[in-house]
Structure 1
Amino acid sequence: MAAEGSAGELIKVVTLLGAAVVAVPLFKRIGLGSVLGYLAAGLAIGPFGLGLFSDPQTILHTAELGVVMFLFIIGLEMRPSHLWSLRRDIFGLGSLQVVVCGLLLTGVGMAFGFPAPVSFVSAMGFVLTSTAIVMQLLGERGDIAAPRGQKIVAVLLFEDLLIVPLLAIVAFMAPTSAGDAATAASRWTSVAVALGALLALVAAGRWLLNPLFRILANAKAREVMTAAALLVVLGAALLMQLGGLSMAMGAFLAGVLLSESTFRHQLEADIEPFRGLLLGLFFLGVGMSLDLAVVGRNWPLIVAGVLAMMLVKALCIYGVARLARSSHADALDRAVLMAQGGEFAFVLFAAALAEGVIDPTVNANMTAIVVLSMALTPLVVIAHKRMSPPEPISLEGVQEAHGLCGKVLVIGFGRFGQVASQGVLARGASISIIDNSTQMIRDADSFGFTVYYGDGTRADVLHAAGAASARAILVCIDDKAAATRIAEVVKAEFPQAQLLVRAWDREHAHELLKAGVDFQTRETFESAMQMSHQAVMAVGATETEADEVIEAVRRRDAERFDLESTGGLFAGRSLILSNRNAEQDPEFAQPGQAAQAQSQPN
C-alpha cells in the first residue's frame, strides 16, 4: 500500500513536469509566451480539465514559494540606496494608482448591483496586480532594469505592502459587535506582532546574516551554502507569515538587506534554479484553480466582470501614468501589463470569506475573474506588441550625421568598432563615426567619443557622414544582412574608399567577397586563434612550436576558404573531414611526435 501511495505521488510529480515540458516550449514556439503555456497546462491537467489533480489549492500554496524566491532575487538587485531613490514612485505613484483604481473598480462592483463592502473587497483584490506575471513578462523582454520597468516594479512593491493594511481593513469590516473589546484587543495585538516580526527580520539582516555566510563560506561546503540560502528565503517568509504579513515582502526585504553583501551573487546563483521551477509550478496552480463549472454557470457575469474590470483598471493606470508625466507609449505599456488581478487577491478573498464580508458565491466568481484576467494578460500583451507602431527613436542629446569629413568612416561603434578604430586614432587620421543605437552614442559621449546617429544602409546618410571623401570605410556592425547591404551600397556609390567589413561567420565572409569588399575578417577568428595558440603551449609546446601549429591551422583554414569560394561549401567540408583526426594529420601533432602519429594504426 505504501508503495502504491508513493507511486501515486510520483505520478503527480511526473505529470506536472511533463505538462510544463510539453506546453511551455509549444506556446513559446507559437509566440504566446511561457506564462500562458503554464496556465494552459495547469487547466488541462487540473480538476476542471483531465482531472489528474483534485486539489489545486495545495499546489498553489506550495508554488507561492516561487513568487517568494522571485522577490528575494529582485531584492538582491535593490540596494537600499537604489530603493530610497524609488521612494517617490513607490509611495507617490503607487498610492495614486491604487486609490484611483480602487475607487473606480468599487464603482464597477456597485454598478453590477453588489453592496459597497463586497464591491470594495472585490475591487481591492483586483487592484493587487500579479507580481509573478508582470515580473516574468518584464524579465522575458529585459525591461526590469529599464526606467519604465523600474516604475512598474515600484508600483508592484507598494501593492505588495498594501496587503497588510487591506487584511486589517477586512477584519474591521467583519460583522461583529461594535463594543467587542476582546476583538479590538486582538487586532492591536496583531499589529504589534507584525511590527515585531518586521523589526526582527531587519535586525537579523543587519547583524546576523553576513557573519553566518562568512562562517559557511570558510567551511568550503557548497551544499551548505545552498541550504543556507534557502533557509534565509524561507525563514524570512515564515517570519513575515507568522507576523500576519506577506511572505513575498519578507523575502524581498531579506534580499534588500543582503544586496550589499559580498555573498550576493552566490545567493542569487543558489536560489535561481528553485525560483524558476517553483514559479512555473505557481502558474500551473493558477491554471488548475480556474473552475470551469463556475464559469459555465455564471458566464455572463464573469465575462462582463473580466472585461469591465480589466478595461477600467487599464484606463486608470494609463491616466495616472500620464498624470505622472510618462510618455504615451510607456503609459499604454504599463496599462496593458498591469490590467489584471493577482495572486494576493486570493489571500484577500479568503480572509474576507472567513470574516463573513463576502459569501462563497462571490468568492468563487471573483476568483474566476482574477484567474481569467491573469490568463488573458499574456494574450493582450502580444496583441499590443503586434498592433503598436514601432516606437520613435529618441534623439535627445544625439547629433545626426551631417556634413562630416574624415579620412576614415567607421560604421558601428560597439565592442568590435571601438577596438578596430584604435589604430587609426593612434595614427592621428581624421575619423567619422556613425551608429544607429542612441544609447551607444550617449555611452560613447561619456567617454569622450563623438559618435553621430545614422543608418549606414542608406546612401544619403553615408554621403552626410563623409563617405565620398573617405579613404577607408570600416563596417563594424553585428547585423549580417545590414553589413552586406552596406558593402553593396559603398561599392556602388563610393568606389574610391577601401572597404573593410566585419564578417559574422564563414558563410557571411563569402557573401562579402561576392559583394567586392577589399578586406573581411570573421569577428571571432583572430581571438580564437590567440586562445588556440595559448592552448597549444598549455599542453607542452614551446612558443616556436605553437607558432608552427597555428600557422598550419591558418594555412589549412585559408585552403578550405578558397575551396569553398571556388568549388562550393561541399569541397571545403570534405577537406575538414579529411583533416579532423589529429592522429591522422601530422601537422596537428607536436613536433617530434609526427612520426609516432603516422606509425599508429588507423
Structure 2
Amino acid sequence: MGMTSLNLALVLMVAISLGVVATRLGLSVIIGYLIAGIICGPLGFHFLETNHQLSLLSEAGIAFLLFILGLELDSKRIRSFGAKIFFYGPIQFFISTSLLMVVAHFLVEDFAQQFWIAALLALSSTAMAAQMLEQNRQVGTPHAEVAIAILLFQDMAAIALIVATPLLVGSALEQNSESLFSPQKLLIFAGWIALSYFLLSKIYSWVASTRQKEVLLATSLLTVLSFASLAHWVGLSASLGAFLAGILLANSNYRHQIEADISPLKGLLLGLFFVSVGIQFDAQPIVERPISFVLLLAAAILIKVGSIFLALRLARLDGIVARNSSLYLGQMSEFGLVLLAMATQLNILSVGLNSILTATILFSFFLSPVLVQISERIFKRFSYLTERPYDVETRSEPVIIAGYGRVGQVMARMLRLRKIGFTALDHDVRQVEIVRKFGHKIYFGDATRKDLLETAGITQAKFLLNCLDDVDSSVALTRTVREEFPNVKIWARARNRDHAMKLLELGANHVFRETLHSSAFATGDLLKEFGMTQQQADEFLSSFLRYDEKLLKEQFDRRHDQEELVSFTIQYNKNLEAVLRADESL
C-alpha cells in the first residue's frame, strides 16, 4: 500500500482524536500520539506499513524536532542558566551513567558498549519533558528550571555521543568506515558549516528585506533540509545535520522571527515525531523475552529517577525540587532512537538487543507521563505545601499578590493604608513565617499552581499583582491566570523590556517595569544639580515616562518584525528628543 493522501489523512485523524481523548482523560497528549502511531502502523490498521514509509516519517519527525531543539539552544539562553547547566548536568549524567553501567554489564561484555548503552539510557527526552511541563503548567517553576538546565547539558552530551559513536567501537568503524565516512566528505561538511556560519545571516538579511514571512519560512526549511541531506551523505545522522542547522540559526538576528514563523508548526512536528515513534513499536522482543524486558525497563526508570534525585540532593537542592525534577526526567531520550539507528547501521549491537533497547525507550515514553501524574496526585495528597496552619481561606479579597519580596511588600503596604484587602502568595517559607508574625494573610506555595490560586480565592478576586522576581515564573503565572481565570485583571512586574513584551503578549492588562521610575526619578534629582527647577524636572520626567510607555506599546505591535522594530525605535527616539527640546523652549 503506497502512502496516499487518504493514508496520511487517516493517520492525522487518529492522532488528533486520540490526543483529544488522552487530554480529556487527564493523560498526556503524548500518550495519545504514541497509541495513534501503534494503531496506524504494522501492529494496527497498516495505514503505513512499508519500511521506507516508516523510515521517512520517523526521520522527518526527528529531524524537525532536533532542528527546533537546536534553535532554542542559543548562547543567551545557555548564559541565563549559567552554572545550573554545567553543575547539575554533569553530576546527573555521571551518576546515572555509572549506575546504568551495572545494568549494561548484564547485556554486553565489551566495556565501550556498556558505557555507550548506559550513556544512551542516561539521556532524557527534551521533547517529552518540555511537553509535560507545559501541559501541566509547570513552566517557570524551580523544578522546571532545573530540569531544563539538565536537558540542555544532555542535548550537548547527546551530540557528542552521536559524533563519537563510531570511535567507541573501533572494529565497527574499521569494517564500515570506507562505506560510511571519508576524509573528503567530512572536510566538505565542515566547510559547509563554516561557510554557513558566515553567510546565513547575510542570506537571511536579504530574504527578510522582501518582508514576506512565507519566503523566510521556506528559507529556514531549505536550511534544515540541506544540512540534513549533507549530513546523511557524509554518513552522519540526518537529524544531527538538522540539529546543527538549528544551532547556527539560534544566534542569528532573525532567531525570534524564525521561532515566530515555526511556532504554529512546532506542535504538529512534535506530534509527528511521537506518532512515528508509535509506528516503529515492535512487540516481538517483548513477547520473546518478557522478563528481561520488564526488568530492564523497571531498572532503567528507577535508576534514572533515583540517580537524578540523588545528584540534585548532593547539589544541595530542596527535596521537593529534586523530586519533581527527577520525575519529569525519568524517561529515555529521542536521541536514543537516533543512536540506536546508528548502531544498526554500524552493526554495534545485535538485532535482538537493539530491539529490546528501542522497546525500552518507547515504553518509557508511555510510562513517564503516567508516573508523573500518579506521583503528583500522591504527593499532593500528603504534601504540606498548600495545607499548613491557618492557610484555609475564610473570605476572599479583591487583590492577590503573587510574590512578597521587595516589590510585593511595597504594594501591600500601600494597599493596607487604603484599607484594600489582599491575599499574598510566596514560595519562601522563611519569608512567609516572618510576615505572618505581623498578622498578614499570606500563603506558602508556588503561585503558578492553579490549585493554590483557587485556594487563595482567585475566582472571586478582581486583580492579580504579579510581583514574582523570576522571569520564567512570572511568565508562567501570567499564562495560567489568563487561560484559567480570564476575568481577573493582571498587573505584572517586568524586569526589562523583553519581559514586559512577553507579559503583554500573554494578556497582562498593565505592566510596570521595576527600575524605570526609580531610575527616572534619580535622574530628575541629578538634573536639578545641573540647573533645572523642580517644576522643569517634574515636567521633563512626566514627558519622558509618557513617551516611553507609548514607545513600549508601539514596539509590542512590531515585535515580530525585527527590522521594522529597530528602524521604528531609532526614529521614535529622534522624535522624542525633538519633542522634549520643544517642551523646554516653551
Distance 2:69 2:20 in 1: 25
Corresponding residue number in structure 1 for 2:373: 382
Given the superposition, is the C-alpha separation of residues 112 and 163 from structure 1 closer, same or farther in structure 2, using an over 3 Å criterion? closer
Pick the structure with greater CA Rg. Answer: 1
Given the superposition, is the C-alpha separation of residues 177 and 452 from structure 1 closer, same or farther in structure 2, using an over 3 Å criterion? closer
Amino acid at match of 2:247: L
**Residue 438 (structure 1) aligned with residue 436 (structure 2):** no
Which of 480, 492, 499 is matched with 2:459 structurally? Answer: 480
Given the superposition, is the C-alpha separation of residues 10 and 109 from structure 1 closer, same or farther in structure 2, using an over 3 Å criterion? same
Aligned partners of 1:121 and 1:349 also within 8 Å:
no
Q: How many residues align?
A: 427
Which of 438, 444, 454 is matched with 2:442 structurally? Answer: 454
Deviates more, 1:433-442 or 1:129-138: 433-442
Post-superposition shift, 1:367? 0.9
- For 1:112-131, what aligned pairs fall within 5 Å after superposition? 115-131=110-126
Aligned partners of 1:234 and 1:251 also within 8 Å:
no
Partner SS, residue 422 of structure 2: strand
Distance 1:138 1:267 in 2: 23
% identical equivalent positions: 23
Corresponding residue number in structure 2 for 1:65: 63
Post-superposition shift, 1:330? 1.5
Distance 2:101 2:341 in 1: 18
Corresponding residue number in structure 2 for 1:269: 260
- For 1:68-107, what aligned pairs fall within 5 Å after superposition? 68-72=66-70, 74-75=72-73, 78=74, 80-107=75-102
Residues 438-471 of structure 1 deviation map (CA, whole Å, 9 limit, x = unaligned): 27999xxxxxxx995436xxxxxxxxxxxxxxxx
Post-superposition shift, 1:349? 2.1
TM-score, structure 1 length as denominator? 0.61
Distance 2:401 2:158 in 1: 48
Corresponding residue number in structure 1 for 2:215: 224
Given the superposition, is the C-alpha separation of residues 298 and 29 from structure 1 closer, same or farther in structure 2, using an over 3 Å criterion? same
Corresponding residue number in structure 1 for 2:273: 282
Stretches of structure 2 lacking an aligned partner (at least 5 in a row): 392-396, 431-437, 444-455, 463-484, 488-508, 510-586
Distance 1:162 1:429 in 2: 55
Partner SS, residue 176 of structure 1: helix
Corresponding residue number in structure 2 for 1:152: 147
Aligned partners of 1:126 and 1:342 also within 8 Å:
yes
Residues 191-211 of structure 1 deviation map (CA, whole Å, 9 limit, x = unaligned): 76676555444434xxx42x4
Distance 1:304 1:116 in 2: 21
Corresponding residue number in structure 2 for 1:489: none
Which of 265, 277, 289 is matched with 1:298 structurally? Answer: 289
- For 1:38-49, what aligned pairs fall within 5 Å after superposition? 38-49=33-44
Which of 3, 11, 32 is matched with 1:16 structurally? Answer: 11
Residues 476-519 of structure 1 deviation map (CA, whole Å, 9 limit, x = unaligned): x8733679xxxxxxxxxxxxxxxxxxxx999xxxxxxxxxxxxx
Residues 138-168 of structure 1 deviation map (CA, whole Å, 9 limit, x = unaligned): 2223444444323322322222222343245
Distance 2:5 2:125 in 1: 30
Deviates more, 1:237-246 or 1:31-40: 237-246
Aligned partners of 1:134 and 1:337 also within 8 Å:
yes
Aligned partners of 2:173 and 2:346 also within 8 Å:
no
Post-superposition shift, 1:25? 0.4
Distance 1:178 1:60 in 2: 25
Distance 2:112 2:328 in 1: 28
Distance 1:177 1:230 in 2: 34
Aligned partners of 1:69 and 1:271 also within 8 Å:
no
Aligned partners of 1:63 and 1:285 also within 8 Å:
yes
Corresponding residue number in structure 1 for 2:353: 362
Distance 2:144 2:194 in 1: 30
Over aligned residues, Cα RMSD in angstroms?
Answer: 4.2
Corresponding residue number in structure 2 for 1:510: none
TM-score, structure 2 length as denominator? 0.63
Stretches of structure 1 lacking an aligned partner (at least 5 in a row): 395-399, 402-408, 443-449, 456-476, 484-503, 507-526, 528-602
Partner SS, residue 13 of structure 1: helix
Given the superposition, is the C-alpha separation of residues 410 and 10 from structure 1 closer, same or farther in structure 2, using an over 3 Å criterion? closer
- For 1:139-538, what aligned pairs fall within 5 Å after superposition? 139-174=134-169, 176=171, 196=191, 198-204=193-199, 208-209=200-201, 211-235=202-226, 244=236, 246-247=240-241, 249-258=243-252, 261=253, 263-389=254-380, 411-413=399-401, 430-431=418-419, 434-438=422-426, 453-454=441-442, 479-480=458-459
